[in-house]
Chains A and B, each alone.
Chain A
Amino acid sequence: MIQLVDIHKSFKNQKVLDGLHLEVEGGKTTVIIGLSGGGKSVLLKHMIGLLKPDSGSVIVDGEDITKMNDRDLNETRKKFGMLFQEAALFDSMNVFENVAFPLREHTKMTESQIGDRVQSRLQDVGLVGVEEKMPSELSGGMKKRVGLARALVMEPRIVLFDEPTTGLDPIMTEAIDRLIYESQKKYNLTCVVISHDLKSIFDIGHRIAMLYDGKIIGYGTPDEMKNSENPVIRQFLTGSLEGPISVV
């Protein structure tokens, strides 16, 4: 469904992705793990064409999006939804308008159809009665849930999650994980999730990929990753200070 082939990306003199290969399977949740500042968000932004690689291909449904013009890229983006790290809700719009935005932008739905669809998505994420609230009036967890409703409102086939549970309390983390899990099952989504939260990783991931040093150094099911012999993966998953990853 999504293939990243030999991706190289540098910012000024800093190499972030260095010959990265990854294949994301359709209808499954792939969790990308790796060190903070290691290029996970950069990798995610390549999948949807927010960043272009210095070299390499990003293939979505058989088409290389790095070679597309803006119009074709926009068409491909309609297959995607994305939940940003801080939800990225539009400050100037209330919750309803935020969730309705893609529908108003790309469909000819009537206001009543839009209203029904927005209500249904807000119900999916457990938010009712907040339609008139502005993003500044919402808690971090509520913002993420509104962001998820907005990401799902166009019924995308692929949803990208950039650290969906960072900064949330354990209960809200569990709630968001469950929402991701249930949404993936309900709509048979292809999900790519960046996460640091070890519990989340194993709760929601069908596949786990470890990004280290600009490359995917391990890929497999949660069990395969847990039993990996790779010392970097072992150190990361055990959260140990001892090992090949030196932090201090």
Chain B
Amino acid sequence: MGRVIAFFDRFGRSIFSALEEMGSMLLLFLSVVAWAGRPPFKTRLIIKQMEFVGVKSIFVVVLTGLFTGMVMTLQIYYGFRMFSAEALVGSTVALGMARELGPVLTALMVTARAGSAMAAELGTMRVTEQIDALYVMAANPVKTLIVPRVIAGITMLPVLTVVSVFVGVLGGYFVGVPILDINKGMFIKNITTYVSLSDIYNGLIKAAFFGFILSFVGCYKGFTTTGGAEGVGKSTTEAVVVAAITILISDYFLTALMF
């Protein structure tokens, strides 16, 4: 009997703790929305974060996009060859990159690079009282720290996704045409025939949404850090895990809604 009560006690506590965290995330979200629309706008901080999230992620995004496009071409080619449909390899790679792999892989890579850094930086600021110092100086930390990062996440992810899709298709071309001997004209023509503008738009909307998730989760986890260096490490890990899982789960629902 005691064990059953203990089980329900633990279960109830974990439910309450999850609800409490969701409530505190919602409050922070509302605060971000309110501060984002209130001038003066911190343009310098926003540009700095855009550089950090966008420009400094280009290398890793190009690398992952390129090799993903290349390996997709290899795999799809071996499947499509069975039906003599090699000419459709290019368009399939382009569709896959634009609708799915471009936004998702970019978001996961930027989560690992920038989302974790946001959690670590804000977490360190929290435990070293730098966030308290902002409050003391009557500078709202949500406006100063979180809003620029979230704006950078939302705006830079679509840009990085465009880069990722472009180099992915380019990688597919270099494997498909010179190595696998797919007809160059058919490779390109089928891309323009089968990939519509809405595929690209929807992929970019997804990317913006993922950009919001990774920056918001990173900031939330950092902002609510407690417990010194250990707490910063825990927040950073949680930020990456929670953002990555949320991106993958929301990807399914967004895809179901959009396409």
Contacts and interface: CB of A to CB of B under 8 A. Distances in A.
Contacts of A68: none
A88 B130 contact: yes
B4 interface: no
Interface in B90-123: 121
B193 to A, nearest CB: 49
B205 interface: no
A91 B125 contact: yes
A244 B130 CA distance: 37
A74 B138 CA distance: 5
Contacts of B125: 90-91
30 contacts: A45-B132, A48-B136, A74-B138, A74-B140, A77-B136, A77-B137, A78-B138, A80-B136, A81-B136, A82-B136, A84-B132, A85-B129, A86-B128, A86-B129, A88-B128, A88-B132, A89-B130, A90-B133, A91-B124, A91-B125, A91-B128, A92-B121, A101-B137, A102-B137, A102-B138, A105-B137, A105-B138, A106-B137, A106-B138, A154-B137
A140 to B, nearest CB: 13
A42 B128 CA distance: 15
A28 B250 CA distance: 58
A78 B136 CA distance: 8
Given A86-B129, A91-B124, A102-B139, 12 more contacts: A48-B136, A70-B140, A75-B138, A86-B128, A88-B128, A88-B129, A88-B132, A90-B130, A91-B130, A92-B121, A101-B137, A105-B138
A245 interface: no
Contacts of B130: 88-91
Contacts of A154: 137
Interface in A99-122: 101-102, 105-106
Interface in B220-259: none
Nearest to B31: A70
Contacts of A86: 128-129
Interface of A: 45, 48-50, 70, 74-75, 77-78, 80-82, 84-86, 88-92, 101-102, 105-106, 154
Interface residues of B, number: 14
B135 A50 contact: yes
B52 to A, nearest CB: 11
Contacts of A91: 124-125, 128, 130
Task: For the complex of A and B, list the 10 residue pairs with the smallest distance between their C-beta atoms, beginning with the closest.
Answer: A74-B138, A88-B133, A88-B129, A77-B138, A82-B136, A102-B137, A84-B129, A105-B139, A88-B130, A78-B138
Contacts of B140: 70, 74
Nearest to B139: A105
Contacts of B121: 92
| Most chain A CB atoms below 10 A, which of B121, B125, B130 | B130
Nearest to A81: B136
Nearest to A41: B129
Contacts of B124: 91
Contacts of B137: 77, 101-102, 105-106, 154
Contacts of B139: 101-102, 105
B129 to A, nearest CB: 4
Contact of B136 (A50, A75, A92): A50
Contacts of B132: 45, 50, 84, 88
A94 to B, nearest CB: 14
Contacts of B129: 84-86, 88
A138 to B, nearest CB: 14
A56 B133 CA distance: 24
Nearest to B144: A105
B66 to A, nearest CB: 32
A84 B127 CA distance: 12
B226 to A, nearest CB: 11
Contacts of A48: 136
Nearest to B40: A105
Interface string B126-160: 00111011011111100000000000000000000
A91 B129 CA distance: 11
A45 B132 CA distance: 9
B133 to A, nearest CB: 4
Given A75-B138, A77-B138, A101-B139, A82 B133 contact: yes
A91 B128 CA distance: 10
A86 B228 CA distance: 13
B131 to A, nearest CB: 9
